[in-house]
Chains A and B, each alone.
Chain A
Amino acid sequence: MDLYQELILEHSKRPVRAGLREPFDAESHHVNPTCGDEVTLRVHVSGAGDDAVVEDVSYDSMGCSISVASASILAEEVTGGTVGHARETYEAMRRMLTSKGEDPGDEDQIGDGVALAGVAKYPARVKCALLSWSAFTDALYQAEGAKQ
């Protein structure tokens, strides 16, 4: 099964930067109502605008291997980078995951995220892979609002 790449299983068993930490600027809780998967995700950002830096992404993810791995990849890819880069990464992930398998993903942009390319062929699982990403963009939006 091409869905369960070794990299995904690795991330799901040992998720990177897991757990909820302080300090944080915003927290977001997203749920997949069809299966009950949940993620609580916090972001800590310094600076403002696209050049602001994502200092920390911490999360508590309860769900299938795809949703946990995706949260882990997210934390790995965006932590330490700029908010602008994080947004581009989200867009690239979303494009790949909703491409029905046509977009293999750009490794330079999304790193380990390319391991999730196979998910695009399983429409029922796309939501699992996007759950933490939508929680992340939501938290970023809140964090920016709080700083204004």
Chain B
Amino acid sequence: MLDAERHFYEHTNAAVHRGAHQLSEEGTDAYESARETIARFIGAQAGEVVFTRNATEALNLVAYAFTNGTHGGGGGRGERFSLRPGDEVLVTEMEHHANLIPWQEACRRTGATLRWVPVTEDGRLDLTDLDELLTERTKVFAFTHVSNVLGTVNPVRELAERAHAVGALAVLDACQSVPHLPVDVAELGVDFLAYSGHKMFGPLGIGVLWGRAELLDEMPVFLTGGSMIETVTMEGATYAPVPQKFEAGVPVAAQAVGLAAACDYLTALGLDRVHAHEQALTERLLRGLAERPWVRVLGPSDLRERGGAVAFVVDGVHAHDVGQVLDDRGVEVRVGHHCAWPLHRKLHAPASTRASFAAYTTPAEVDALLEALDRVPAIFGTEVTV
């Protein structure tokens, strides 16, 4: 990945899609062939892949496009991309803030109503009342593929079908799935999907928005300016075809080239193997945590319903303190609410400690975590008789 990015800067660093000289053409080629690789990685066509700065921006792009369309702005077509009072947006209680706040704001701007699917105590979506939540008023159903806190894997295909049955568009946050398991947009059945480069051995500063070609074509633009236009006069502008119309300004070319290299790397490893490896580690950690009754794991305990993000709470000890003790032994975990504050409130945990796995994580590292964790009750005097 680093070599690919370095090669771009050293050999083809030029204004992509702008210059008419040799270097610019080579840069454009590198950028567009990266788009093909990145699209293929999720079973998509290159023309359906839009580059953004991160997954957050990709989700914001969709949320803003919806509100831009309400009053006919952004060069979009069709009533589908509009939000008005009476319309509803459905999200879930387990969303990362990135797939929650853009929709809160979209509703605030337009007068539409935000609703959400609740989460059960064991960290699954509570679909009991989905028929009341997902109705003909719903214009968007935005949800995550895999929870970044609980590891819960949601039934994406079923949810997308339910959304389509009432005429809503399905928007998927795939940040936690694309790097960890085989993802094919056709199989998932959603309309939009967002993921981030930095979680899959890619560079910082690149996110991906995939959308169905006909929807991207109809969808109003979000950021405007250079590179995304067809014609411009002092009075107004018309816009370039997809995907350029969504990529205003200097594109993230070197990052795209780096991300394509990361995709090639993961493809060579085999996503099936990566997934199996991470599942084995998750099982090892869950088993170890289950042996420690002073630890409460958030999320499903059944391995078949979860991925390799394991968040837990230690009785009587704040996650910050747990993380500090682990850090002291060189075990790096995330502590806090992991950008999912409402979810933590729901699960009665002000904060949690989260271990997450990737292809490079080893069983010995899981054991090191468990060993370091055993120091926690001793240090904080919360030792319980077992």
Asked if chains A and B come from one complex, the reply is yes
Contact across chains for B351 and A35 when beta carbons are under 8 A apart: yes
Pick from B324, B350, B381: contact of A37, CB below 8 A: B350
Residue in chain A with minimal CB distance to B325: A1
Is residue B18 contacting chain A, with contact meaning CB distance below 8 A? no
B-contact bits for A10-30, CB 8 A (1 contact / 0 none): 000100000000000000000
Which of A36, A63, A125, A128 has the most chain B CB within a 10 Å cutoff? A36
Is residue B379 contacting chain A, with contact meaning CB distance below 8 A? yes
Contact across chains for B328 and A1 when beta carbons are under 8 A apart: yes
Pick from B317, B324, B328, B350: contact of A62, CB below 8 A: B350
Min Cβ gap A24→B in Å is 24
Pick from B317, B328, B350: contact of A36, CB below 8 A: B350
Pick from B320, B325, B337, B379: contact of A128, CB below 8 A: B320
Contact across chains for B381 and A36 when beta carbons are under 8 A apart: no
Contact across chains for A9 and B324 when beta carbons are under 8 A apart: no
Main secondary structure of the interface of B (DSSP, over half): helix
Inter-chain contacts of B336 with A (CB < 8 A): 34-36
Inter-chain contacts of A1 with B (CB < 8 A): 324-325, 328, 379
Min Cβ gap A6→B in Å is 10
**A90-148, CB < 8 A from B:** 122, 125, 128
Inter-chain contacts of A9 with B (CB < 8 A): 379-381
Contact across chains for A63 and B318 when beta carbons are under 8 A apart: yes
Inter-chain contacts of B380 with A (CB < 8 A): 4, 9, 65
Contact across chains for A35 and B335 when beta carbons are under 8 A apart: yes
Residue in chain A with minimal CB distance to B341: A36
Interface size on A (CB < 8 Å)? 18
Inter-chain contacts of A7 with B (CB < 8 A): none
Is residue B321 contacting chain A, with contact meaning CB distance below 8 A? yes
**B237-290, CB < 8 A from A:** none
Given contacts A4-B379, A36-B336, A63-B350, contact A122 B320 (CB under 8 A): no
Is residue B319 contacting chain A, with contact meaning CB distance below 8 A? yes
Min Cβ gap B235→A in Å is 43
Is residue A52 contacting chain B, with contact meaning CB distance below 8 A? no
Given contacts A34-B336, A35-B335, A35-B337, contact A125 B324 (CB under 8 A): yes
Is residue B35 contacting chain A, with contact meaning CB distance below 8 A? no
Min Cβ gap B155→A in Å is 29
Is residue A66 contacting chain B, with contact meaning CB distance below 8 A? yes
Inter-chain contacts of A34 with B (CB < 8 A): 336
Given contacts A9-B380, A9-B381, A35-B336, contact A122 B324 (CB under 8 A): yes
Contact across chains for B319 and A35 when beta carbons are under 8 A apart: yes
Query: Could you tell me the distance between the alpha carbons of A45 and B379 in the complex, rounded to whole angstroms?
Result: 38
Contact across chains for B324 and A36 when beta carbons are under 8 A apart: no
Query: Could you tell me the distance between the alpha carbons of A64 and B320 in the complex, rounded to whole angstroms?
Result: 6
Inter-chain contacts of A37 with B (CB < 8 A): 318, 320, 350-351
Contact across chains for A65 and B350 when beta carbons are under 8 A apart: no
A-contact bits for B349-372, CB 8 A (1 contact / 0 none): 011000000000000000000000
Inter-chain contacts of B324 with A (CB < 8 A): 1, 3-4, 122, 125
Contact across chains for B351 and A36 when beta carbons are under 8 A apart: yes
Contact across chains for B321 and A65 when beta carbons are under 8 A apart: yes
Min Cβ gap B352→A in Å is 10
Query: Could you tell me the distance between the alpha carbons of A66 and B380 in the complex, rounded to whole angstroms?
Result: 12
Query: Could you tell me the distance between the alpha carbons of A122 and B344 in the complex, rounded to whole angstroms?
Result: 25
Query: Could you tell me the distance between the alpha carbons of A37 and B349 in the complex, rounded to whole angstroms?
Result: 11
Query: Could you tell me the distance between the alpha carbons of A4 and B328 in the complex, rounded to whole angstroms?
Result: 12
Query: Could you tell me the distance between the alpha carbons of A55 and B366 in the complex, rounded to whole angstroms?
Result: 51
Min Cβ gap B332→A in Å is 12
Contact across chains for B328 and A35 when beta carbons are under 8 A apart: no
Contact across chains for B379 and A36 when beta carbons are under 8 A apart: no
Inter-chain contacts of B317 with A (CB < 8 A): 65
Residue in chain A with minimal CB distance to B345: A36
Residue in chain B with minimal CB distance to A4: B379
Pick from A13, A35, A38: contact of B320, CB below 8 A: A35
Contact across chains for A36 and B318 when beta carbons are under 8 A apart: no
A-contact bits for B304-339, CB 8 A (1 contact / 0 none): 000000000000011111001100100000011100
A-contact bits for B99-115, CB 8 A (1 contact / 0 none): 00000000000000000
Min Cβ gap A3→B in Å is 6
Contact across chains for A64 and B321 when beta carbons are under 8 A apart: yes
Contact across chains for B350 and A13 when beta carbons are under 8 A apart: no
Min Cβ gap A30→B in Å is 15
Given contacts A1-B324, A3-B324, A13-B381, 10 further A-B contacts (CB under 8 A): A4-B321, A35-B320, A35-B335, A35-B336, A35-B337, A36-B341, A64-B319, A64-B321, A122-B324, A128-B320
Which residues does B use to contact A, with CB under 8 Å? Answer: 317-321, 324-325, 328, 335-337, 341, 344, 350-351, 379-381
Complex A-B, nearest 3 residue pairs according to Cβ-Cβ distance, in ascending order: A64-B320, A64-B318, A35-B336
A-B contact pairs, 11 of them (CB 8 A): A1-B328, A1-B379, A4-B324, A9-B380, A37-B320, A37-B350, A62-B350, A64-B320, A66-B320, A122-B324, A128-B320
